[in-house]
Amino acid sequence: MKLSKMILGTLREVQGETELESYKLMVRAGIIRKVASGVYNFMPTGKKIINNVNSLIKNEMEKMDSQEIEVSQFVPFESLNQCNNKENNSTDTFEIVDKSQKKFYVGAGFKESYIEIMKNEIKSYKQLPVSIYSIQKRIKDETKPKFGIIKSKEFNELQCYVFYDDSVEAEQYVNRLCEVFNGIYHKCGIDFIKTNSLKFFIKHSLGEEGMACCEACEYKEDLEIAKCALREKEEDDMKPLNKISTPDTRTIDELASFFNTTPEYFVKTIIYKINNKIVAVMVRGDREVNETKVKSSMGYIVSFELADEDMVRYATSAEVGFAGPINLKCDTLLVDEEITRMRNFMVGANDTGYHYEYVNYERDFTGIVGDFKKITEKDKCPVCGNSIKIKSVMRLGEIANLETTYAENMNAVFLDKLGKNKPMSIIEASINVDRLLALIVEQNHDENGIVWPKSVAPYEVIVIAAVFKNEEQMKAAENIYNKLRSIGIDVLLDDRDERAGVKFKDADLIGVPIRITVGKKISDGKVEFKLRNNDNVEDINISDIEEKVLSELHKN
């Protein structure tokens, strides 16, 4: 491609929106252009990069004999009903109603579509295992789009599903998918972290997610599901329950100040409205409720939100700030396991201006016990007991074993060896390709621009004629360009009437891996050869260009 014919539009600087370098550099390099908040156009270089990443992903998927399909962007509402989504109130999906008043979800990427395909095609155990995948646009009503294409309303996504029979096979397919994901990330130049639950992240100071890491045993887990090591059970004698006046002390910090103690002495009760039911969650005063764990414990979730003030007043018969488990009107009480090991703690009394002290689990209240708290750096590793660190991360992708739950709900069955119906076991895997693209830039750039890995770069080589008006340089540059194209190299020719410095800046900004500059030494049969990822400039004979380029491109 000749740069003089390209829609490129490089910029020297970008105003605001986000402090992420990936967004700034992708806009400056003419890769993306903003349409609206969370909505972007991919320009010609951006489209080439997306195509390169998709091609890389497809090559890796083919290694595990996964077959590519294309799934309709329109998902009938009744299809979701098969999977207990009849009352789906998801706020991040787009809905439309056609002229016949038929309701669809659009571009949401529901797994039901993939299961429906296999449900109709797979009849016998002899057809299993089988893997299918697609790389398509997903549309999500992201309420707080952020960081450019890292968190946007539409994005390209890989979705892969493995359908299998024998549960013993699950581990081997999970491991195979891990190998595929490892291959994708390595070839994209990504330094990633895989958690114990098969989620893939990169470390990033601006990451909105967290990861608990133990350097001693290499335990790594998503903050939302990481478990905490339990402390020793307190053995103090139970004291008599006592109701005390606590005027104007609604928060844990206010209570700690009022009693001149620490938040660990208290237990707070947080009230939620889940599936239109009142659900109270109890955690220690210095803890935060882990809503992901709460959702997991509740099974299928239609709606999930904090209770409003009216619901809190109904449940507690008090003003907000005095909720507790004793005489609480709720449908479900979830009690963090840590609380069952405490003695003589304080809770709200469900009476404005009052709390109970010397409260003890089982004697004074009971509930459903489980792990409902977020891990912190004060906790110990749940595996080896050493200290942990919490790191900010951004998500790359994940692999999950859905087992037979969705297949059972959708009656996706096959005939086993005994001729009996059996639900399919399913493994799901996904990668947000647009986010992957941005995170490649986050980890591969310098002060001059993007440093694309060879596998995904928009062009493999850029040829620059230093002086536009020098006929010898221009002719030699075009000859090099044509020769490289003839041997299958994806090459860009900067034939613009611009100063050499401008051309060099744009080449660095765009991030093409190899730069060949035709300058004054062309009269001696030499050109400058430079790699984007280092500062060395080498003079090479023009006759050696093809061999040199192929050698560099074939290096790992």
242-370 fold? YbaK protein (3.90.960)
pTM: 0.88
Summarize pLDDT for 353-384 with one digit per residue, the tens: 999 999 999 999 999 999 999 999 999 999 99
Intervals of CATH 3.40.50.800 along the chain: 459-553
Intervals of CATH 3.30.930.10 along the chain: 3-223+391-441
Mean pLDDT, residues 305-314 taken together: 96
The reported pLDDT for the residue numbered 536 is 93
Is the pLDDT at 347 greater than 90? The verdict is: yes
Summarize pLDDT for 137-192 with one digit per residue, the tens: 999 888 888 889 999 999 999 999 999 997 667 889 999 999 999 999 999 999 99
Summarize pLDDT for 202-256 with one digit per residue, the tens: 999 989 899 999 989 989 999 999 998 888 899 999 999 999 999 989 899 999 9
Is the pLDDT at 8 greater than 90? The verdict is: no
The rounded mean pLDDT for the chain is 92
Instruction: Decide yes or no: CATH 3.30.930.10 for domain 3-223+391-441.
Output: yes
Q: How many CB atoms lie within 10 A of CB 247?
A: 8
Architecture of the 459-553 domain: 3-Layer(aba) Sandwich (3.40)
Q: Spell out the residues 6+ positions from residue 234 whose beta carbon is closer than 8 angstroms to its own.
A: 341, 342, 343
The reported pLDDT for the residue numbered 81 is 56
The reported pLDDT for the residue numbered 88 is 43
Spatial distance between the Cα atoms of 410 and 81, rounded to a whole number of angstroms: 9
Q: How many CB atoms lie within 10 A of CB 181?
A: 24
Spatial distance between the Cα atoms of 172 and 47, rounded to a whole number of angstroms: 35
Are the C-beta atoms of 512 and 461 separated by less than 8 Å? Answer: yes
Q: Spell out the residues 6+ positions from residue 480 whose beta carbon is closer than 8 angstroms to its own.
A: 463, 516, 518, 527, 542, 545
The reported pLDDT for the residue numbered 106 is 86
Band of residue 87 on the pLDDT scale cut at 50, 70, 90: very low
Residue type at 478 in one-letter notation: E
Intervals of CATH 3.90.960.10 along the chain: 242-370
Band of residue 94 on the pLDDT scale cut at 50, 70, 90: confident
